[in-house]
Amino acid sequence: MDWLYSDIVKDHFTRPRNVLMESEESYPADGRGETGNIRCGDKMLMLVRIKDDVITDVRWKTYGCASAIASTSMLSEMIKGMNIRDAYQIGPEDLTKALGGLPTAKIHCSVLGDKALRSAIDDYLGKHGRAGELVESSTVICHCMGITDKDIENAYRNGARTLEQLQQATKLGTGCGGCKVNATEFLHGLDHVYGTEEETSHKEAVLA
């Protein structure tokens, strides 16, 4: 088969940077973040070292596909020397661009890395009495109703697992309806972060 990814993705997949090695299990991290669900096949650990609010080093490991590995490898390189305020706002679109693109069906894999990073930064801030200091930026998904990706994520965590349930919880897509495809894809990505194996299998069957 032809390689379906960019040369940058191939490079970071075959030669991932800053991976946590077995010999580094006692890596002295200032912040630790985990996200994902191993039952869905994707789980991420991110460890960061921080000095004066600047990320000086990072280690990570993941159970995931080529996209998850490549996007987290790229992320680990991007954040070195970066202030935590800037690193906190890195999103999947930034990683996708840096990698030269990802297949649409794989963009959700890049969510794992940035969520694990924010969790690690939150851990660092909490240890220093600064919990809640940083807030993740949001992206509008449904412009008619002003529903953001954060609104969808909150609804998901409160039990909305289908587009119909999401509409009941947020009124998303009740205007022009042009957001339904993006909202469904976003829900699919959340399955890999929060969902159970059964929910992910069901959603993939529906999308197929």
* Nearest in space to 131 (alpha carbons), one of 139, 119, 122: 122
Type of residue at 71: S
* Nearest in space to 116 (alpha carbons), one of 36, 12, 20, 30: 36
User: Looking at the chain, how many residues does it have?
Assistant: 208
Whether 65 sits among the annotated catalytic residues: the reply is: no
Whether 40 sits among the annotated catalytic residues: the reply is: yes
Cα-Cα-Cα-Cα dihedral of 11, 14, 19, 23, to 10°?
-140
Distance CA 65, CA 83 (A): 29
Reduced to 3 states (helix: H, G, I; strand: E, B; else coil), residue 143 is coil
* Nearest in space to 90 (alpha carbons), one of 124, 121, 122, 114: 114
Q: For strands 140-142 and 54-63, give the pairing.
A: unpaired
- Return the active site residues: 40, 109
